Amino acid sequence: MTSDGEPSNDVIVPTPPAKGRGRALSARVKVREPLAAQHLWAARHFARLAEERETAITEQGLDKVDLAHRSYVMAAVKFAVSFLEALVNEVYSDAADAVMPDYSALLKPLEPDVIPKLKAEWEATEGATPVVHTRLMHKYAKALEFAGKTKFQKADIAYKEAHKVIVLRDFLVHFKPAWHEASVHQNKSSKIHRKLANSFTENTQPIGDPWFPNKCLSAGCARWACDSVTTFAGQWLDRLDIPHTYETAIDDQQTP
């Protein structure tokens, strides 16, 4: 910090210990690493692996569960939602940080009065002693509200599809096995079937019921999850005039 309290751009390097008596000086370095881009890269990576694997096992005529294929799809869905979690948290946590408001590309487009509101919301919901727990989509809505921007309606396609991905992620993470007749649609899995039916291309393997997970966890599902969260996140950022920094970060890496 400078004498007037402003952040300093000085580079601090360790000082080698002096000869003789005395105490050695050392520097403490702090690193702050965002993960939104990493999560999205991973989701797209596993979606690609799912597509390649599904093509192969369909051509082979495999009519039973392929654990590699199913794992790729589940990973893509989970990482897709992790991307949504990380992205909105980056905006809020940057606003609540002591240094980042002056440097964050995510905050620069926002009006000055918006940042204290984001900070207060973060400290109330995610701080050391959170007051309330906030659902993921509520975080996105509150940021738009603070900025005076148009909020998503539940009927909006981008919102609906992203919400479906979250529902599927939660269904996978908190899955509760239940008995059901494989040839009957009206079973314990039918709720997820009704929620997701016609959202994506089902598993192209010659595999039978139940619909979830056999037909639901498909390459089409994995790609849909990636596309849905990316569309929603992009529209949210556009409403706030915030750049899509995660896409730049991904473009700097090899193809997922």
Indicate whether 130 belongs to any domain. yes
pLDDT-derived band of residue 255, with 50, 70 and 90 as boundaries? confident
Report yes or no on 120 lying in a domain: yes
Note down the domain range covering 98. 36-251
Q: What is the mean pLDDT of residues 100-114?
A: 94
pLDDT over threshold 70, residue 54: yes
Q: Which two tokens stand for residue 250?
A: 């991904």
* Domain contains 19: no
Q: Categorize the per-residue pLDDT at 13 as very low, low, confident or very high, splitting at 50, 70 and 90.
A: very low
Q: Residue 156's pLDDT is what?
A: 97
> Is residue 73 predicted with pLDDT exceeding 50?
yes
Residue 202 contacts residue 218 (beta carbons within 8 Å): yes
For residues 218-230, b (16+ Cβ closer than 10 Å) or e, as one string? bbbbbbbbbbbbb
* Total domains, the chain: 1
Q: What is the DSSP letter of 102?
A: G
Q: What are phi and psi of 177, to 5 degrees?
A: -60, 145
Orientation of helix 157-173 relative to helix 219-240, angle to 10° = 130
pLDDT of 14 > 60? The answer is: no
Q: Where do runs of H (alpha helix) occur along the chain?
A: 36-60, 67-96, 114-125, 136-146, 157-173, 190-196, 219-240, 245-251
State how far the Cα of 3 lies from the Cα of 25, in Å rounded to an integer: 21
Backbone angles phi, psi at 196, to 5 degrees: -110, -10
Q: What does the alpha-carbon distance between residue 137 and residue 152 come to, in Å, rounded to a whole number?
A: 10
- Highest mean pLDDT, choosing among 97-111, 117-131, 184-198, 242-256: 97-111
Instruction: In whole angstroms, give the CA distance from residue 128 to residue 131.
Output: 10
Give per-residue pLDDT as tens, 152-196: 999 999 999 999 999 999 999 999 887 766 555 544 457 899 999
Decide if pLDDT at 33 tops 70.
Answer: yes
Domain contains 27: no
54 part of a folded domain = yes
Nearest CA to 88 among 126, 48, 56, 47?
126
Count CA atoms within 13 Å of residue 84 on its CB side. 32
Separation CA 134–CA 49 (nearest Å): 33
Instruction: Please indicate, yes or no, if residue 103 is contained in any of the structural domains.
Output: yes
Average pLDDT, stretch 102-112? Answer: 93
Provide the pLDDT confidence category of residue 29 given band limits of 50, 70 and 90: confident
